[in-house]
Chains A and B, each alone.
Chain A
Amino acid sequence: MSNKNNLKGWLYLLPALVFIGIFMVYPLIDVFVYSFEEGYNFASQTYNGVGLFNYSYVLHDPYFIQALKNTFILVIITVPLSTGIALLISLALNSLNRFKDLFQTIFFLPYVTNTLAVGLVFMILFKKSAYSDGLINLLLNSVGISSIDFIEGPYWAKMFVLCFYTIWVVLPFKILILTSALASVNKDFYKVAKVDGTSRIRTFFRITLPMISPSLFYLIITGFIGAFKAYSDVVALFGTDLNSAGMNTIVGYVYDMLYGNSGGYPSFASAAALILFAIVLTITVINLIVSRRKVYYQ
């Protein structure tokens, strides 16, 4: 292999290498450095020690604890629920002969919409204001439930809206992946099962589920990762001051530490980001171990 060829290869890669080096590799190292630098001052860019203080501070910060709690509740509710609903809808879609494309296109629509923009619509639908109790409360009233302010009211109500909106936002991707997984299962399996008199339930658990388990599993992993990184849909519903709304998430906490009214602490932000990364990594590893035993790979 000539030197000229070597040079050419690297030349084509150069732009990517430069940008990835500056904006991905260097920050990756730097975030560890930040997280151990104690008393870092953003203005003078100095610090007065190295240690675990940043981690300890973050872990004792009530705002972080609240963010951690919110994030975990969100994950535990939305990941199974959204995957389940997506599976249900995909199964229904897959059994259609007609209108399949139409429904699929409708269901995918939220994927391309601006999370912040549609979040505003959700807020209006759920909000109780001086002028109006909002549409959702109108529906609740009609079944005899008194109005609730979902946006600035009780914690569970806010959590409900957040979970509902999160599911609304993540469902298109999951439905798409599952419908294509279901569509790729050979139809003959279903025909054989039908000729053999297999009930729908048994067909689902013994044939469909094992066949789509790799996709389902991929969705569960990415679902966990995505839900742990929830942020912009929360902002869309509750505004940027998430701490006072009591609805902050871990990612929100990282950004708040970095910037905004409570910002200017990249060290705390780094420590929080690394804690998040550790959590996500742990969950992913657990998922992978479970999948070894449960997932059928062709």
Chain B
Amino acid sequence: MDELKKIAKENRAKNTIWTIVIFALLIFWSFIVLFPFYWMVLTSLKSYSAYNAEYIPQFITLSPTLENYIQAFTAVPLARYFVNTIIFTLVTTILMMIIVVLSAFAFSRLEFKGKNLVFTAFLSLMMIPNELVIITNFVTISNLGLRNTYLGLILPSVTSVFYIYLLKENFEQIPDELYKAAKVDGTSDFKYLYKVMIPISKPTIVTIFILKVIECWNAYVWPRLITDDENYFLVSNGIQTIRESGFGRENIPAMMAAVVVISLPLIIIFLIFHKKIMEGVSRGGTKG
């Protein structure tokens, strides 16, 4: 009897310790994840003189100011970067969606000669790293005289073999009977795509859309290669320029204000759609 009590007690103690360890680990990592965001916002609210007077960084500020945000928009063309990024993101994403939907439909519902061959070729392209093709693309766009244009930024990014594949898989889950029924009713392929398949696959399409928006918003390498005129910079390039020459290089609170402004749109999108985004990514997205 006493022995049983001892086992019960040990078991309880073990479980308690385990729970504490688990929560300690999770809270510790949450802190590491969130701290940079906190520091970013905090610094952006400190005035330039106050920040520079702090030899020992302060964890709170008692006199928050928005002057850095005003500076971020006046001293550097942050608004310009913003508009560029929005144009780039929306146009690229919408064009890509059209192309992806059309191709996925062709692969999943239409029968034509050479379909399997093309699809296999598409799949094998998924393994090709961007770094290999970017060199020639840079030369192509330069030769076409499209450097420092929206077109030059957008064109190479409007296809994604991976999203075609993802959507095709989704389209194929729509029962064949629906397509046959539509054919019997004399519905055209395009109308069927538009009226039936797209609405049914809406969750996947929305997921792809959001993922592509995130990708575009954070694009850095290609825009950096293809633009050297500030008027066509995207936010990532803008940040890099600010870091290297903006605000006299030393105005860190103003830089942080710019960083907050740039990060905010995606964080808002994330907070609204986090379930969708995480589900989409776990279904096979990769970073960038």
- B57 contacts A106, C-beta separation under 8 Å: no
Query: In the complex, A138 Cα to B59 Cα: how many Å?
Result: 12
Please name all residues of chain A whose beta carbon is closer than 8 Å to the beta carbon of B235 when the two chains form the complex: 114, 117
- A109 contacts B125, C-beta separation under 8 Å: no
Query: In the complex, A66 Cα to B136 Cα: how many Å?
Result: 25
Interface string of B236-256 (1 = CB under 8 A from A): 100110011000000010011
Please name all residues of chain B whose beta carbon is closer than 8 Å to the beta carbon of A177 when the two chains form the complex: 282
Is A105 positioned at the interface, with any CB of B under 8 Å from its CB?
yes
Given contacts A131-B55, A176-B278, contact A89 B136 (CB under 8 A): no
User: Which B-chain residue is minimally distant from A104 (CB atoms)?
Assistant: B278
Interface string of B93-125 (1 = CB under 8 A from A): 000001110110111001111010010001001
Is B161 positioned at the interface, with any CB of A under 8 Å from its CB?
yes
Interface SS, B side: helix
Please name all residues of chain A whose beta carbon is closer than 8 Å to the beta carbon of B54 when the two chains form the complex: 131-132
- B56 contacts A258, C-beta separation under 8 Å: no
- A27 contacts B56, C-beta separation under 8 Å: no
Interface string of A264-294 (1 = CB under 8 A from B): 0010011001101100100000000000000
Interface string of A168-196 (1 = CB under 8 A from B): 11100100110010000000000000000
Query: In the complex, A117 Cα to B12 Cα: how many Å?
Result: 46
Query: In the complex, A113 Cα to B287 Cα: how many Å?
Result: 11
Please name all residues of chain B whose beta carbon is closer than 8 Å to the beta carbon of A222 when the two chains form the complex: 286
- B220 contacts A13, C-beta separation under 8 Å: no
CB distance from A132 to the nearest CB of B (A): 5
Please name all residues of chain A whose beta carbon is closer than 8 Å to the beta carbon of B156 when the two chains form the complex: 19, 23
| B29, B56, B111: residue with the most chain A Cβ atoms closer than 10 Å | B29
Q: Please give the number of chain B residues whose Cβ is less than 8 angstroms from any Cβ of chain A in the complex.
A: 86
- A273 contacts B135, C-beta separation under 8 Å: yes
Interface-located stretch among A73-81, A155-163, A206-214, A232-240: A232-240
- B112 contacts A254, C-beta separation under 8 Å: no
Please name all residues of chain A whose beta carbon is closer than 8 Å to the beta carbon of B118 when the two chains form the complex: 13, 17
Given contacts A19-B158, A115-B220, contact A176 B282 (CB under 8 A): yes
Among candidates A7, A16, A269, residue contacting B103 with C-beta atoms closer than 8 Å: A16
Interface SS, A side: helix
Is B155 positioned at the interface, with any CB of A under 8 Å from its CB?
yes
| 9 examples of A-B residue contacts, CB within 8 angstroms | A5-B111, A12-B102, A19-B99, A132-B55, A133-B55, A229-B131, A258-B135, A259-B224, A266-B138
The 9 tightest CB contacts between A and B, nearest first, are A9-B112, A27-B136, A27-B133, A12-B106, A16-B103, A30-B136, A9-B110, A19-B159, A112-B270
Could you tell me which B residues sit within 8 Å of A by CB distance? 18, 22, 25-26, 29-30, 32-34, 36-37, 39-40, 43, 52, 54-57, 98-100, 102-103, 105-107, 110-113, 115, 118, 122, 125, 128-129, 131-140, 155-156, 158-159, 161, 164, 189, 214, 217-218, 220-221, 224-225, 235-236, 239-240, 243-244, 252, 255-256, 259, 262-263, 266-267, 269-270, 274, 277-278, 281-282, 285-288
18 A-B pairs besides A173-B285, A232-B220 with CB distance below 8 A are: A1-B113, A5-B110, A6-B112, A8-B112, A12-B106, A16-B102, A24-B133, A108-B274, A115-B236, A117-B235, A117-B236, A131-B55, A132-B54, A135-B57, A225-B129, A232-B236, A258-B134, A270-B135
